[in-house]
């Protein structure tokens, strides 16, 4: 199965403890669940979720869930292009503070590949973007 963009089903809030974890990761409004949608690959039990946004910040908060592990980080959408003629969209994301836990270092390449796949599926804004058949993204890891 591939990544899909969807609104989070009610049962999954409890399954992944989303309200508690995402509320803790919400830097601009602690304790509140920010996102009602995600980009998920159910077969591999991994997903990408936005955790916070603030208009005065230079980035947004996000987290990548990898088979039981939460990896929070910051993301900046540097560029986004929509091409209706080719039913496609593309986005450039800068990722900061993405730290793979030591106990998962052996899976580092798979985690990074999964994150890039998730952002390609999310490109253009996930469930809030235009419904394009062809989505892709470039993910760059930057200092900061």
pLDDT-derived band at 144, boundaries 50, 70, 90:
low
State the pLDDT at residue 43: 96
pLDDT-derived band at 129, boundaries 50, 70, 90:
confident
State the pLDDT at residue 62: 96
CA within 13 Å, CB half, 28: 17
Domain of 135? 4-141
The DSSP result for 29-77, as a single string, is STTS---SEEEEETTTTEEEEEEE--TTSSSEEEEEEETTEEEEEEEEE
Task: Kindly report the average pLDDT of the chain as a whole number.
Answer: 92
Overall number of domains in the chain: 1
State the pLDDT at residue 133: 83
State the pLDDT at residue 51: 94
pTM across the whole model: 0.91
User: CA end-to-end span of the chain, whole Å?
Assistant: 34
């Amino acid at each position: 199965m591939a990544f899909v963009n969807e609104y989070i089903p009610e049962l999954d809030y409890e399954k992944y403890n989303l309200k508690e974890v995402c509320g803790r990761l919400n830097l601009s409004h602690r304790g509140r669940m920010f996102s009602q949608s995600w980009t998920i690959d159910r077969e591999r039990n991994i997903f990408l979720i936005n955790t916070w946004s603030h208009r005065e910040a230079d980035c947004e908060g996000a987290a990548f869930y990898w088979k039981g592990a939460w990896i929070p980080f910051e993301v900046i959408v540097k560029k986004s292009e929509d091409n209706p003629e080719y039913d496609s969209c593309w986005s450039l994301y800068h990722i900061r503070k993405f730290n793979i836990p030591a106990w998962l270092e052996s899976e580092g390449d798979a985690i990074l590949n999964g994150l890039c796949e998730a952002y390609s599926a999310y490109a253009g804004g996930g469930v809030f973007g235009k419904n394009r058949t062809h989505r892709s993204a470039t993910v760059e890891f930057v200092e900061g």
